[in-house]
């Protein structure tokens, strides 16, 4: 099963560059998720791989075949669209077999593949119905079935869950994960939903502003974000940021001084940091615990309290006017306008330099 | 609250009945002349010369229909009307679909300008071009031919506009899915998109057919040979003077005969016509 290689791919619409010199390798049978906000270029990149958008510069390879000059139907890719894109006048069976008939596969083979895919997706009873006669979730399965029967080298999913209700979205997400285990092909899944990305991906490509911000496993993206954008886009609530002054801490690590005077001892190796730069501290709410005033590194006033059941998020206004989000227990008694302390777990803190590069805590004796 | 709801419902029911009553009254006003024409066609011409009110009294007769069947050129005219109306409808459907697909889906230089030019066609009345067209068809030797009767109606700016809008309303994801399914551009048009425009095709086809069937002016100008008369021209030709009183029953029988195909078309495509008139099809 071939891998996919994008080499310096660029796309422009008129004067606007929508994909800017992107290079990327996808391994055989890998589940890759393109994650980013609307307009970041993730769908355009997917469509370029599919052949639905031309490539203005660069190359796309699937295995040992360069495909960027091939028609979409010749690339051995299958795509599941956001709005299903089923042919409304054809039955489910005809929808699934249309592509196979176009390549003149024998009828028996078409029937075999359609029946097998329908069985796998549990839509056998729908085969003679038209798309208008089935539910949204069933339509999405048919769209997936239409992709499966082609036995492609690469599946492309363009935000396929965004039209489904919350419960169905979770179920379909699981089914797509199971599908990936059953089929021998790589998958690229485009979404702006970080939960979908974190739960489905082997690796995530975080995109912003037409460029790749970071490629990594879900945990790498979450715990070692390469830029402030990645740090703030992935994870809920978004990471807290604050400008800091650095000083020497114990064991060669640095300590960070917040504007309100609080000192946070990090596990970031001083030797790994670039010299004479201004830094931003990034720290997630889960590394900031609410405690009685006076017991933590800093103190502030609770402005908002969000009770999530298993935990409580407290928005704390610090002395310098900045607001940070900290966590408390699910049964927290903190109320708005309470004076609270905030305890920093500096071992999970990140520093971002003025080039927006992330620096993280030492892992297994190696600094980044 | 409940009282308010109840009185609201009563008000609505009363309003509905009022509208229904008005609709029935209007329908009666529309239907009476048609029934009157049918009645006149069932009386002898001699009786009608004496008193047209005799329609309401027996005896009734099918003599006028018999005369049509054996004596008039109405069958020829009927055939002409069927050929011209069907041919024109098919032509409009084919040309409008292709043009609509082109305007909606293909990128080519001057597309928007050409589309606007086509739309200008909606604003040009037939009266403004009929002399030039007559001369042109004369030069091309197209008068008194089926092509001559059909061709002018095939340039249908409204059809092009309707089909363009309809194709535009189909998500491009459908085309893209078909491209990934290895379909050629023609196959995408023919097998995927065109069947999706059937409601619009039906609307356009029916209206073109009815328009062609009822058209009088151009067939009268172009089809001067009696063998090339369409029904409208043919029936009118049997009328000797404007306020005709002689041969009234025969004339009405021809009118009834002429309207039968349209009635049949209406019965088969009633759903599409109602939808088109109510605007739901577009």
CA distance between the termini of chain B: 40
Count of other CB atoms within 10 angstroms of residue A69: 11
Last residue of a domain, one of A184, A199, A233: A233
Question: Quick check: is A96 in a domain?
Answer: yes
Residue A106 shares a structural domain with residue A182: yes
% helix, strand, coil for chain B, step of 5: 80, 0, 20
DSSP letters for A210-265: TEEEEEE-HHHHHHS-SSHHHHHHSSSSPPEEEEEEEEE-GGGEEEEE-TTS-EEE
What class, spelled out in words, does domain B73-237 have in CATH?
A: mainly alpha
Coil, strand or helix at A347? helix
* Helix, strand, or coil (residue A161): coil
Please state the rounded mean pLDDT for residues B262-281. Answer: 72
| Distance between CA atoms of residues A108 and B219, nearest Å | 56
Q: Which of A71, A88, A98 sits opposite B196 (nearest CB)?
A: A88
DSSP-derived 3-state class of residue B16:
helix
Least confident of A210-219, B168-177, B217-226: B217-226
Contact (CB, 8 A) for B130 and B143: no
Question: Quick one: which of B195, B175, B173, B202 has its CA closest to B282?
Answer: B202
Asked if B177 reaches chain A (Cβ–Cβ under 8 Å), the answer is: yes
What Å distances lie between residue A181 and A175, A176, A177, CA to CA? Answer: 10, 9, 7
Are B180 and A72 an interchain contact pair (Cβ–Cβ within 8 Å)? yes
Asked if A213 and A337 sit in the same domain, the reply is: no
Is residue A367, in this structure, part of any structural domain at all? no
Sheet of A263-269: strand order equals A263-269, A253-257, A240-248, A279-283, A350-352, A358-359
Residue appearing with tokens 């054996």: B70
Q: Give yes or no for A57 touching B (CB within 8 A).
A: no
- In this predicted complex, what is the ipTM? 0.84
DSSP A274: P
Q: Is residue A364 part of a domain?
A: no
Q: What is the pLDDT of residue A301?
A: 95
Of B174, B195, B198, the CB nearest to A85: B174
Phi/psi for B71 (5° steps) reads -115, -25
CA distance A113 to A98: 12
- Give domain limits for chain B: 2-56, 73-237
Same domain flag for A211 and A311: no
Q: Indicate the helix (H) or strand (E) that contains B260.
A: helix B248-278
Whether A43 is in a domain gets the answer yes
Domain boundary among A233, A253, A271: A233
Chain A to chain B Cβ contacts (< 8 Å): 58
Residues contacting residue B128 through CB under 8 Å, at least 6 positions apart: none
Residue A159 lies in a domain: yes
Are A73 and B182 within 8 A, CB to CB?
Answer: yes
Distance spanning both ends of chain A, measured CA to CA: 34
The CATH number of the domain holding residue A257 is 2.40.50.140
One domain for residues A308 and A212: no
Q: Can you read off the two tokens belonging to residue B251?
A: 């004339």
Hey, how many other C-beta atoms are within 10 angstroms of the C-beta on A8? 12
Cross-chain Cβ contact B182/A83 below 8 Å: no
Number of domains comprising chain A: 2
| Residue predicted with more confidence, A169 or B247 | A169
Phi, psi of A211 (to 5 degrees): -130, 160
Smallest CA–CA distance from A100 into chain B, residue: B181
Output b/e per residue, A114-129; b: 16+ Cβ within 10 A: beebbebbebeebbee
Q: Name residue A186's beta-bridge partners.
A: A154
A272 and A355 in a common domain: yes
Residue A11 counted as domain residue: yes
Question: Which of A47, A52, A76, A103 to mutate against chain B (most B CBs within 10 Å)?
Answer: A52
* Token code pair at residue A348: 């999970």
* pLDDT tens digits for range A74-114: 999 999 999 999 999 999 999 999 999 999 999 999 999 99
A165 and A305 belong to one structural domain: no
Give the alpha-carbon dihedral of A70, A71, A76, A78, to 10 degrees. Answer: 140
Same-domain status, A150 and A286: no
The answer to whether residue B182 neighbours chain A at the CB level (below 8 Å) is yes
Burial class (CB in 10 A: 0-12, 13-18, 19+), A221: buried
Please judge whether B181 and A74 are an interchain contact, meaning their C-beta atoms are less than 8 angstroms apart.
Answer: no
Residue A78's φ and ψ, nearest 5 degrees, are: -130, 145
pLDDT tens digit sequence for B108-148:
999 999 999 999 988 888 888 889 999 999 999 999 999 99
In this structure, of A50-59, B102-111, B242-251, B252-261, the range with the lowest mean pLDDT score is B242-251
Look at residue A368 and tell me if it is in a domain: no
One domain, residues A89 and A119? yes
Question: Is A285 within 8 Å of chain B by CB?
Answer: no
A85 interaction partners in chain B (CB closer than 8 Å): 171, 173-174, 176-177
Quick one: A152 and A216 in the same domain? Answer: yes
Q: Which residues of chain A have pLDDT under 50?
A: 366-368
pLDDT digits (tens, 9 = 90+) for A171-203: 889 989 998 998 889 999 999 999 999 999 999
Q: Which domain holds residue A264?
A: 240-359
Is residue A189 included in any domain, yes or no? yes
Nearest chain A alpha carbon to B181: A99
Give the position of tokens 């109320």: A335
CB–CB contact B182 A85 (8 Å): no
pLDDT of residue A260: 87
Which of A233, A267, A294 terminates a domain? The answer is A233
A188 shares its domain with A273: no
CB-CB neighbors (< 8 A) of A99 in chain B: 180-183
> In chain A, positions 26-55, which contact chain B (CB-CB < 8 Å)?
50-52
Measured CA to CA, the distance from residue A200 to residue A265 in angstroms comes to: 35
Per CB-CB distance under 8 Å, the chain B contacts of A77 are 180
Residue A189 and residue A159: Cα distance in Å, rounded? Answer: 7
Higher pLDDT, B265 or A131: A131
């Amino acid at each position: 099963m071939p891998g996919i290689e994008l080499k310096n791919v660029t796309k422009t619409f008129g004067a606007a560059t929508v994909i800017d010199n992107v290079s990327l390798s996808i391994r055989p049978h890998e589940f890759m998720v393109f994650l980013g906000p609307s307009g970041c270029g993730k769908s355009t990149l997917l469509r370029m791989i599919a052949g639905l958008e031309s490539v203005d510069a660069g190359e796309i390879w699937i295995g040992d075949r360069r495909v960027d000059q091939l028609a979409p139907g010749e690339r051995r890719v299958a795509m599941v669209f956001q709005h299903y894109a089923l042919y409304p006048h054809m039955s489910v069976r005809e929808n699934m077999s249309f592509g196979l008939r176009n390549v003149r596969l024998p009828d028996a083979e078409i029937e075999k593949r359609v029946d097998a895919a329908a069985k796998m997706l549990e839509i056998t009873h729908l085969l003679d119905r038209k798309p208008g006669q089935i539910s949204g979730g069933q339509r999405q399965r048919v769209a997936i079935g239409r992709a499966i029967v082609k036995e492609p080298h690469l599946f492309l999913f363009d935000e396929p869950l965004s039209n489904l209700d919350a419960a169905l979205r979770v179920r379909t997400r699981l089914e797509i994960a199971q599908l990936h285990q059953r089929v021998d092909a790589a998958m690229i899944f485009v979404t702006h939903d970080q939960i979908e990305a974190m739960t489905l991906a082997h690796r995530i490509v975080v995109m912003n502003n037409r460029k790749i911000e970071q490629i990594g496993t879900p945990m790498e993206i979450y715990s070692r974000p390469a830029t402030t954008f990645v740090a703030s886009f992935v994870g809920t609530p978004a990471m807290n940021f604050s400008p800091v002054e650095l000083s020497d801490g114990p064991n060669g690590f640095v300590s960070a001084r917040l504007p309100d005077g609080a000192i946070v001892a990090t596990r970031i190796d001083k030797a790994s940091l670039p010299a004479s730069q201004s830094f931003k501290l990034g720290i997630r709410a889960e590394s900031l615990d609410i405690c009685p005033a006076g017991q933590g590194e800093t103190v502030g006033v609770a402005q908002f309290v969000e009770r999530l059941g298993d935990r409580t998020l407290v928005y704390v206004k610090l002395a310098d006017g900045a607001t940070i989000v900290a966590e408390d227990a699910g049964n927290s008694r903190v109320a708005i306008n309470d004076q609270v302390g905030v305890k920093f777990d500096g071992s999970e803190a990140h520093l971002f330099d003025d080039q927006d590069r992330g620096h993280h805590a030492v892992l297994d004796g190696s600094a980044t | 609250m409940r009282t308010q709801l109840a009185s609201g419902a009563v008000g609505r029911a009363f309003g509905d009945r009022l509208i229904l009553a008005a609709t029935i009254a209007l329908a009666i006003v529309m239907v009476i002349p048609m029934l009157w024409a049918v009645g006149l066609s069932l009386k002898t011409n001699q009786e009608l010369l004496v008193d047209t009110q005799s329609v309401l009294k027996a005896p009734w007769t099918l003599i006028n229909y018999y005369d049509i069947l054996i004596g008039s050129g109405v069958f020829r005219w009927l055939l002409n009307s069927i050929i011209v109306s069907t041919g024109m409808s098919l032509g409009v459907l084919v040309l409008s679909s292709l043009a609509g697909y082109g305007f909606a889906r293909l990128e080519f230089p001057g597309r928007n300008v050409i589309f606007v030019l086509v739309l200008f066609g909606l604003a040009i009345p037939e009266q403004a071009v009929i002399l030039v067209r007559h001369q042109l068809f004369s030069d091309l030797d197209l008068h008194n031919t089926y092509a001559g009767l059909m061709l002018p109606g095939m340039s249908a700016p409204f059809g092009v506009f309707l089909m363009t809008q309809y194709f535009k309303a189909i998500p491009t994801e459908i085309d893209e899915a078909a491209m990934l399914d290895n379909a050629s551009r023609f196959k995408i048009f023919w097998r995927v998109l065109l069947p999706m425009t059937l409601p619009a095709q039906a609307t356009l086809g029916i209206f073109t057919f009815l328009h062609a069937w009822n058209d009088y002016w151009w067939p009268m100008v172009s089809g001067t040979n009696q063998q090339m008369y369409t029904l409208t021209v043919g029936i009118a030709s049997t009328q000797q003077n404007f306020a005709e009183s002689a041969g009234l029953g025969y004339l009405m029988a021809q009118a009834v005969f002429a309207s039968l195909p349209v009635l049949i078309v209406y019965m088969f495509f009633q759903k599409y016509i109602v939808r088109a008139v109510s605007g739901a099809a577009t």
